[in-house]
């Protein structure tokens, strides 16, 4: 498992990510929706780093308007 994980980088939770998190919380609250805190953090890191979130769980992130997603599942 360690060899597998060593192939990936780790992204820091920066001030840009924190700002994105705040925007996400506000957007979700204004839409009267619920998203788990960890999902919001994952989305915030993607937005804060201007990345596409690759997930097979798009339904949990669909209410985040600025988030770009990709599904690479087969």
In a domain, 5, yes or no: no
Does the pLDDT of residue 4 top 90, yes or no? no
pLDDT at 72 (0 to 100): 87
Residue 74, in any domain of the structure: no
Question: Using an 8 Å Cβ cutoff, are 46 and 52 in contact?
Answer: yes
> Is 55 part of a structural domain of the chain?
yes
Q: Which two tokens stand for residue 29?
A: 């609250």
Judge whether 63 lies within some domain: yes
For the chain, what is the domain count? Answer: 1
Tokens describing residue 70: 């990709």
For residue 26, pLDDT over 80 is answered with: yes
* CATH code (residue 51): 3.40.50.1010
74 pLDDT above the threshold of 80: no
Q: How far apart are CA 39 and CA 55, in angstroms?
A: 11
Digit-coded pLDDT (tens) for 12-23 = 999 999 999 999
| 7 has pLDDT over 90 | no
CA 43 – CA 64 distance, rounded (Å): 8
d(CA 45, CA 19) in angstroms, rounded, equals 10
Q: Which domain holds residue 21?
A: 11-67
């Amino acid at each position: 498992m360690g060899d597998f994980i060593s192939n990936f980088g780790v992204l820091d939770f920066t001030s840009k990510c924190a700002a994105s998190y705040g925007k996400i919380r506000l957007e979700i609250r204004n839409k009267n929706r619920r998203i788990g805190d960890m999902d919001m953090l994952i989305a915030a890191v993607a937005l804060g780093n201007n990345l596409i979130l690759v997930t097979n769980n798009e339904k949990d992130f669909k209410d985040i308007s600025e988030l770009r997603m990709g599904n690479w599942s087969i």
